């Protein structure tokens, strides 16, 4: 009760502080007015927020986010109910059930004090406005595809590649294709039990671990009688009896196993090392050293008896050197040899569930495969995941713990990751022991441990609420002379693991701009202080369940707002405890070694018939003095049949504007023909309506005169015009009319890249008339 009262008092102070901050933005004349009322204040603050696009909406219970945004001048558009959404199995993250409890707590926050009334008024004033900041615990509540580009959302789409157990298991296998890193160095090997191939790979791994565990038993059994220096695990209070070996003097009460068991285990390990060196490529199946199915089954059953203390190897010291040498080779190629331990324990998880639901620890392969096989066919699609359990974790006062580490992704292209400097430890309520595989001992999730009572035999030095801050953990390490381990091993290793995982997932996530997301990663430390990534949670819980989470969860949310809101305005603003972990450098396009090729110009119509070469053409006289002879040719437009005389058509081409500006044609230089100076000519500008009416009249009258528009633009007529200059006749050329229409419609710049000479050659020898009319050669 005292803790909850502190939280409520803190929220009340936040609300009061936000009210004071909001009043600072009010004009002084309004403050000094005796008629000051909350509606005027709310109206002015709301207008300012709308102008600055500071409208936000929150789905669920997030009082820290609400108070932080209000202090910055944001106005909330409230939703009094949450839409019913079917939760997505793929993107289900930790903290989802807390939303249901939070809906009932939402009404408590409204009654924090009278200062909240002004926020109710402001919320009603913006009920028709579009929120520019959306915060929700479950991404399925909001369809991010329907959002505009300037709306901020605290979720990304398609993050199942690293926020689900099966997605993380599969995606990290392709890590070597992205970075030069081995996922086996920070992620315990994992298999999906949904396909037969995955089951086979898991079975092979389980059997290899059986063989190496037998070798470890032989080596550790011989070292049991020797006095070894006190290690870190003993300093930390590790009194686990799981690694205690049974001396040979008690062999009279146990079943003795022959040394053949060690020989078979050594043969299996040598075959494993040979495959890694590709020595089995040129060997036949008969010559291979692989064990048969019966040999594996017999080896596994004897291993169960040996590990559970029901048997021992009488002459194990004879194999000490051989087993030690093989273990050294295996350790050099398998970085997870240390965490494998002796018990061969595997943790079986539902692929898409969180908060420790339905997770069990098993050390018999038959039980693991049977657990998956007993599921009904529809449930098999949920995909079980089996992961190697870390049998040698770092213990604090003989108790297991894990680390919750936050990180923030603000962009996926380029990839931008922010790492939080503070984290917290979660302890188990029970003492650690491998003799008991109860999940209460081996799972440190707060959703599981909060329902259990602390073991009476547990150390009183541990906190009663089972949480430490990372600062307290560093103090603990400092007292034992290992204070430098956090900054040199633990913290940088966690950063590398997060960076590598996000690089792999980058291609699978929907990289929506103006979105961000806060994630919670869970790590377990090995006995050598090396962190191992277990899983990554979307929507990590922010519930103030303990004094540690009440402090850190509120702090990380406020710092998140600083990064995603304040930093948009000021790049040098305070970002709290966040530090920029990774920002992908801009990808520069490689220089193009070839020529800089480009195409310029405009498209022209291709002539239906090739124009014959023109020779012996006399350009001595002006162009408009040429009077080519008339020649009948096939019609230029096949759909236009001969029509009435051309005077009927010319009368229809009436002009709207009689004032036609003169157009001076440029002087063109020709090779051997000398210099051509085309005369100044004028031609009338036709609008679109005139052209349309003229063409329509020509089409309607096409059956009247078979000789209309039947003059070919080129061929011998132009050559004849060069030899004889006959008197002009009346009669329009269809090609010249087309040229005239286009020039009139599109203006003199109809063909900006085409000169007059090219236009005349294109459409024939139809010259322009001096006074806006046309002259044509006679018959």
User: Which among 466, 463, 519, 471 is positioned nearest to 491, based on CA atoms?
Assistant: 471
CA distance 183 to 185: 5
CA distance 412 to 769: 68
Q: How confident is the model at residue 754 (pLDDT cuts 50, 70, 90)?
A: very low
Q: What's residue 654's pLDDT?
A: 44
* Cβ-contact 483, 456 below 8 angstroms: no
Q: How confident is the model at residue 226 (pLDDT cuts 50, 70, 90)?
A: low
DSSP 711: B
DSSP string of 37-67, one letter each residue: -HHHHHHHHHHHHHHTT-EEEEES--HHHHH
CA distance 662 to 677: 16
CA distance 225 to 238: 19
Q: What's residue 399's pLDDT?
A: 95
Q: Please give the span between the terminal C-alpha atoms of the chain, in angstroms, as a whole number.
A: 116
Digit-coded pLDDT (tens) for 156-185: 999 999 999 999 999 999 999 999 999 999
Beta bridge partners of residue 593, listed in sequence order = none
Is 414 a residue whose pLDDT tops 70? yes
DSSP 490: I
pLDDT exceeding 70 applies to what percent of the chain? 60
Token pair recorded at residue 285? 């199946």
As a whole number, mean pLDDT of residues 568-582 equals: 95
What is the rounded radius of gyration, in angstroms, for the C-alpha atoms of the chain? Answer: 43
Digit-coded pLDDT (tens) for 453-490: 888 889 999 999 999 999 999 999 999 999 999 999 99
CA distance 671 to 666: 16
Q: How confident is the model at residue 270 (pLDDT cuts 50, 70, 90)?
A: very high
| Helix residue ranges, H only, 621-749 | 646-652, 688-700, 716-723, 734-746
DSSP string of 662-693, one letter each residue: -BPPPPEEETTTEEE-PPPB------HHHHHH
pLDDT exceeding 90 applies to what percent of the chain? 45
Q: What's residue 635's pLDDT?
A: 46
Is 686 a residue whose pLDDT tops 70? no
Is 678 a residue whose pLDDT tops 50? no
Q: How many CB atoms lie within 10 A of CB 443?
A: 20
Is 93 a residue whose pLDDT tops 80? no
Q: What is the mean pLDDT of the chain?
A: 74
CA distance 756 to 663: 12
Containing 234, the helix (H) or strand (E) segment is helix 232-235
Is 710 a residue whose pLDDT tops 60? no
Is 65 a residue whose pLDDT tops 50? yes
Is 778 a residue whose pLDDT tops 50? no
Digit-coded pLDDT (tens) for 585-608: 876 656 666 666 777 777 777 666
């Amino acid at each position: 009760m005292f803790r909850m009262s502190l939280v409520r008092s803190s929220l009340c102070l936040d609300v009061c502080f936000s009210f004071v901050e909001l009043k600072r933005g009010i004009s002084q004349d309004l403050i000094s007015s005796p008629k000051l009322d909350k509606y005027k204040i709310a109206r002015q603050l709301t207008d300012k927020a709308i102008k600055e696009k500071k409208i936000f909406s929150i789905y669920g219970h997030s009082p820290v986010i609400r108070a932080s945004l209000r202090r910055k001048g944001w106005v909330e558009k409230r939703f009094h109910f949450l839409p019913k959404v079917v939760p997505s199995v793929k993107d289900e993250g930790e903290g989802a059930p807390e939303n249901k409890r939070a809906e009932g707590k939402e009404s408590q926050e409204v009654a924090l004090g009278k200062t909240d009334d002004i926020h109710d008024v402001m919320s009603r004033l913006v009920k028709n406005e579009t929120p520019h900041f959306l915060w929700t615990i479950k991404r399925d509540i909001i369809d991010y595809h329907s959002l505009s580009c300037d709306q901020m959302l605290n979720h990304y789409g398609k993050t199942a590649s690293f926020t689900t157990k099966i997605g993380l298991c599969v995606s990290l296998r392709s890590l070597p294709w992205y970075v030069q890193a081995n996922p086996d160095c920070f992620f315990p090997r994992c298999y999906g039990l949904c396909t037969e191939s995955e089951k086979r790979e898991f079975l092979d791994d389980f059997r290899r671990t059986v063989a190496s565990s037998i070798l470890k038993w032989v080596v550790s059994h011989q070292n049991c009688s020797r006095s070894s220096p006190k290690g870190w695990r003993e300093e930390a209070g590790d009194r686990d009896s799981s690694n205690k070996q049974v001396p040979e003097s008690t062999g009279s009460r146990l079943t003795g196993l022959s040394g053949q068991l060690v020989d078979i285990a050594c043969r299996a390990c040598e075959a494993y090392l040979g495959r890694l060196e590709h020595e089995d490529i040129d060997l036949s199946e008969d010559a291979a050293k692989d064990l048969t199915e019966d040999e594996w089954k017999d080896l596994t059953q004897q291993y169960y008896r040996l590990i559970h203390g029901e048997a021992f190897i009488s002459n194990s010291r004879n194999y000490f050197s051989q087993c030690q040498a093989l273990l050294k080779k295996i350790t050099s190629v398998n970085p997870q040899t240390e965490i494998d331990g002796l018990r061969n324990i595997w943790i079986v998880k539902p692929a898409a569930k969180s908060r420790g639901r339905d997770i069990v620890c098993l050390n018999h392969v038959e039980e693991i495969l049977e657990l998956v096989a007993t599921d009904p066919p529809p449930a098999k699609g949920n995909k079980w995941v089996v992961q190697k359990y870390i049998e040698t974790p770092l213990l604090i006062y003989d108790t297991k713990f894990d680390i919750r580490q936050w990180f923030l992704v603000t962009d996926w292209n380029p990839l931008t990751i922010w790492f939080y400097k503070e984290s917290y430890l979660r302890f188990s309520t029970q003492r650690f022991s491998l003799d008991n595989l109860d999940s209460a001992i081996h799972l440190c999730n707060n959703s599981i441990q909060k329902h259990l009572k602390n073991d009476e035999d547990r150390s009183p030095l541990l906190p009663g609420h089972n949480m430490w801050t990372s600062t307290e953990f560093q103090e603990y390490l400092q007292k034992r002379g290992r204070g430098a381990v956090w900054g040199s091993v633990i913290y940088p290793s966690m950063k590398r693991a997060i960076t590598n995982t996000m690089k792999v997932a980058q291609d699978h996530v929907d990289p929506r701009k103006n979105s961000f997301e806060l994630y919670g990663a869970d790590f377990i430390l090995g006995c050598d202080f090396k962190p191992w990534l277990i899983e990554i949670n979307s929507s990590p819980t922010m519930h103030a369940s303990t004094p540690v989470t009440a402090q850190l969860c509120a702090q990380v949310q406020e710092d998140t707002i600083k990064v995603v809101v304040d930093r948009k305005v000021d790049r040098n603003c305070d970002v709290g405890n966040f530090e920029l972990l990774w920002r992908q450098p801009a990808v520069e396009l490689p220089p193009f070694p070839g020529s800089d090729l480009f195409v310029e110009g405009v498209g022209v119509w291709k002539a239906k018939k090739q124009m014959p070469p023109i020779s012996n053409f006399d350009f001595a006289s002006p162009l408009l003095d040429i009077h080519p002879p008339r020649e009948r040719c096939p019609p230029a437009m096949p759909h236009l049949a001969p029509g009435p005389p051309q005077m009927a058509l010319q009368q229809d081409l009436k002009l709207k504007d009689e004032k036609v500006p003169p157009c001076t044609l440029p002087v063109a230089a020709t090779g051997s023909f000398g210099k051509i100076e085309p005369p100044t000519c004028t031609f009338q500008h036709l609008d679109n309506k005139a052209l349309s009416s003229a063409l329509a009249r020509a089409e309607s009258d096409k059956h009247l005169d078979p000789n209309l528009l039947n003059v070919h633009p080129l061929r011998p007529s132009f050559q004849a015009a060069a030899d004889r200059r006959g008197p002009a006749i009346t009669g329009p050329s269809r090609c010249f009319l087309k040229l005239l229409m286009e020039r009139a419609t599109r203006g003199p710049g109809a063909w900006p890249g085409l000169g007059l000479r090219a236009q005349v050659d294109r459409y024939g020898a139809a010259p322009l008339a001096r006074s806006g009319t046309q002259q044509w050669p006679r018959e």
